[in-house]
Amino acid sequence: MNERDSEAVTGLLLGRGYEAAASAEEADVLLYNTCSVRDHAEQKVFGRMGHFKTLKEKNPALVVGIVGCMAQEHGENFFKKNPEIDLVCGPGNLSQIPDLVDEIWRERSPRLAIDKLNDEYGLEGIHYRSGKIKALVTIMTGCDHRCTYCIVPYTRGGECSRGSGSILREMKDLESRGFKDVMLLGQNVNSYGKGLEEKIDFAGLLGKIQEAAPGIGRLRFITSHPKDAHTRLFRAMRDLPMVCEQLHLPVQSGSTRTLRRMKREHTREWYLEQIAEYRSLVPGGSLSTDFIVGFPGETREDFEETLSLAEEAQFDSAYVFQYSPRPGTPALKLADDVSPAEKAGRHQRLLSLQRAISLKKNQALIGDTVEVLFESKTKRGEERFVGRTRSYKRVVAAGPGDLVGRLRKARIAGAADETLLGEILP
Ligand code: SF4
């Protein structure tokens, strides 16, 4: 979502007559879009403050802004601790950035904008896109769940859906410009439609997009809460040709005890039933997840249950994070009692297990024919190209010719845990 927000703000500034600078050193306006989900991400931003100061010493006219979730979370404290900052702007206020930057230029005084957290989605109808093949489209923001470790409901606010008319206009525009793969974005896309006057849910929105912009060909979405992802969604995934066979369904832990303390509102058993239904309705569909290890009170037995869930669920891939306490979240009241060494050990064990599962699942695809949308050349500069299958498996293949932007059938000839090797079929 931050990626799309940054792209949209870039579009707004280009529309106001700004030009993209080649580097931070050459810029007159420097905006840093930030994430608060993990402490590590925040520390990286605080670590940049010295650099901002140096840039500002060299170019005193430089406008430096902190935008996004950290801006919302820390507000005017940024000005107190870091006088080099001119703008602090939360996720709900991003559409005001061109005006705010103009004001700072004019009046040379800082601006704080964090008051629009639960307003309507403000970044609609922005034509600018940084790519030509894949696009991100925000359909809702915020979250009404209250997972105890998570800061998102406090930095992004409550759930707020964008009207379907505006989404469909954007989808048609992307179709007419030749985009081939669209990812719908929201903190919890499955509760799309809540609070809107029109009677619509997420599966209904997918159906409308299929009707309005079938030429896009591939439609994905992220992210889903297990409690809100159910039969209607899986049926839409089965029945609508555009909707790719890919589901990211964060589980966080395999222990119901830990899930309760996380306030995830689902149990291990419920999760396993959901994915069994998904697999029966969407055969061959891929499944990925997120795990947090070392949550307060997570015992060795709890962690063993997470390992056994990973074995049982056979995810195609998983992101594994070590728990870090976030200010203002309910979990802060729980003792962070799993030692850093133990967290690191659990992280490593789960990652190794997942890598072995991912490898085995990818090896099972050898010999299959898949449809690949190629997105870029490999970084090594050889005539090899990187693309994705409908199920979001990464495929590397050699030409003939330039494959970027092309849909090709490929036979899987080799597999590693994160990449498949393809041979283009004539
Ligand atoms: S569902 Fe839970 S983890 Fe996801 S954004 Fe909402 S509160 Fe955070």
Could you give the CA distance from residue 109 to residue 103 in angstroms, rounded to a whole number? Answer: 8
Q: Is 325 exposed, middle or buried (0-12, 13-18, 19+ CB in 10 A)?
A: middle
The neighbouring-strand residues paired with 34 are 68
> How far is ligand 1, taken at its centre, from the CA of residue 27, in Å?
35
* Structural domain contains residue 127: no
Residues 156 and 298 grouped into a single domain: yes
Closest CA to 290 of 323, 326, 267, 339: 323
Kindly state whether residues 359 and 375 are assigned to the same domain: no
**Closest C-alpha to ligand 1, atom 1:** 145
In a domain, 384, yes or no: yes
- Same domain? 276 vs 301: yes
Are residue 175 and residue 279 in the same domain, yes or no?
A: yes
Q: What is the CATH number of the domain that holds 325?
A: 3.80.30.20
Res 405: pLDDT = 95
CA of 325 from ligand 1 middle (Å) equals: 15
Per-residue pLDDT, 381: 67
Is residue 143 located within the same domain as residue 96?
A: no
* Domain assignment present for 148: yes
CA 78 – CA 175 distance, rounded (Å): 41
Q: What is the 3-state secondary structure (H, E, C) of the chain?
A: CHHHHHHHHHHHHHHCCCCCCCCHHHCCEEEEEECCCCHHHHHHHHCCHHHHHHHHHHCCCCEEEEEEHHHHHHCCHHHHHCCCCCEEECHHHHHHHHHHHHHHHHHCCCEEECCCCCCCCCCCCCCCCCCCCEEEEECEECCCCCCCCCCHHHHCCCCEECCHHHHHHHHHHHHHCCCCEEEEECCCHHHCCCCCCCCCCHHHHHHHHHHHCHHHCEEEEECCCCCCCCHHHHHHHHHCCCECCEEECCCECCCHHHHHHHCCCCCHHHHHHHHHHHHHHCCCCEEEEEEEECCCCCCHHHHHHHHHHHHHHCCCEEEEEECCCCCCCHHHHCCCCCCHHHHHHHHHHHHHHHHHHHHHHHHCCCCCEEEEEEEEECCCCCCEEEEECCCCCEEEEECCCCCCCCEEEEEEEEECCCEEEEEECC
CATH number at residue 17: 3.40.50.12160
What's the CA-to-centroid distance between 392 and ligand 1, angstroms?
23
Please give the share of the chain, as a percent, with pLDDT higher than 70. 100
Atom of ligand 1 nearest to the CA of 150: 8
Give the distance (Å) from ligand 1 centre to CA of residue 149: 9
* 144, 232: one domain: yes
* Tens digits of residue pLDDT in 314-324: 999 999 999 99
pLDDT value of position 39: 87
293 and 416 within one domain:
no
Question: What per-residue confidence (pLDDT) applies to 121?
Answer: 82
Three-state SS string over 287-335 comes to: EEEEEEECCCCCCHHHHHHHHHHHHHHCCCEEEEEECCCCCCCHHHHCC
Q: Which residues line ligand 1 (CB under 6 A)?
A: 143, 145-147, 150, 152-153, 187-188, 225
Residue 298 near residue 339 (C-beta atoms within 8 A): no
Separation of 253 CA from ligand 1 center, angstroms?
A: 14
- Which of 363, 378, 395 is the last residue in one of the domains? 363
Mark whether 168 and 300 lie in a shared domain.
yes
Count how many domains the chain has: 3
CA distance 66 to 96: 14
Do both 254 and 384 map to the same domain?
A: no
CA of 372 to the centre of ligand 1 (A): 32
CATH number for 419: 2.40.50.140
C-alpha pair distances (Å), 70 with each of 103, 155, 326: 22, 8, 12
Indicate whether 119 belongs to any domain. Answer: no
Pair 191, 86 in one domain:
no
Q: Which of 318, 342, 363 is the last residue of a domain?
A: 363
Atom of ligand 1 nearest to the CA of 187: 5
Most ligand 1 atoms within 8 A of CB, residue of 73, 144, 188 to mutate: 188
Q: Is 126 domain-assigned?
A: no
| Residue 84 resides in a domain | yes
Residue nearest to atom 2 of ligand 1 (CA): 147
How far is it, in rounded angstroms, from Cα 127 to Cα 122? Answer: 14
Residue 283, strand partner residues: none
Q: Residue 419: is the preceding peptide bond cis (ω within 30°)? A: no
Question: Same domain for 13 and 99?
Answer: yes
pLDDT in tens, 232-264: 999 999 999 999 999 999 999 999 999 999 999
Name the domain boundary from 363, 378, 396: 363
Same domain for 48 and 150? no
The residue range of the domain holding 244 is 134-363
Dihedral sign from CA coordinates of 323, 328, 330, 334: positive
CA nearest ligand 1 atom 8, residue: 150
Per the CB < 8 A criterion, the answer to whether 331 and 291 are in contact is no
| 247: in domain | yes
- Total count of residues recorded for the chain: 426
273 within domain boundaries: yes
Tell me the mean pLDDT per 10 residues along the chain, length 426: 95 96 94 91 89 92 95 93 94 96 94 89 89 96 94 92 96 97 96 94 98 98 92 97 98 98 97 97 97 98 98 98 93 95 98 98 98 92 90 94 94 97 95
> Ligand 1, atom 4: nearest CA belongs to which residue?
187
Encode pLDDT of 353-408 as tens digits. 999 999 999 999 999 999 999 999 998 767 899 999 999 999 999 988 899 999 99
